[in-house]
Amino acid sequence: MIQSDRAVEVADIVGPVCESGDFFARDREMPEVKSGELVVLLDAGAYGMALASNYNTRMRPAEVMVEAGKARLVRRRETMDDLMGTELL
């Protein structure tokens, strides 16, 4: 059950790659999300570092560890310089 003072909406949660199977959840009831807010996914599959790739020229994500209610960055997001650094032009 959702506990929030926000309106509840039914939404599909999708990844940014625009593939037809790129769904984290379908028809999920959740509080309304406003522009600029973040949504936390506990299991991100291929969007997490364990399965991350540079498919579609996507930079690998940052990783944040949450332990005992505290979050800390454990790996920074790749930059375009990181991504292109091995290219021989």
Dihedral angle sign, alpha carbons of residues 18, 24, 29, 35: negative
73 is catalytic: no
The CA distance from 24 to 85, in Å, is 31
Q: Which position among 1, 2, 18, 39 bears the catalytic label?
A: 18
Burial of residue 88 (number of CB atoms within 10 Å: 0-12, 13-18, 19+): exposed
Which residues are the active-site residues?
A: 18
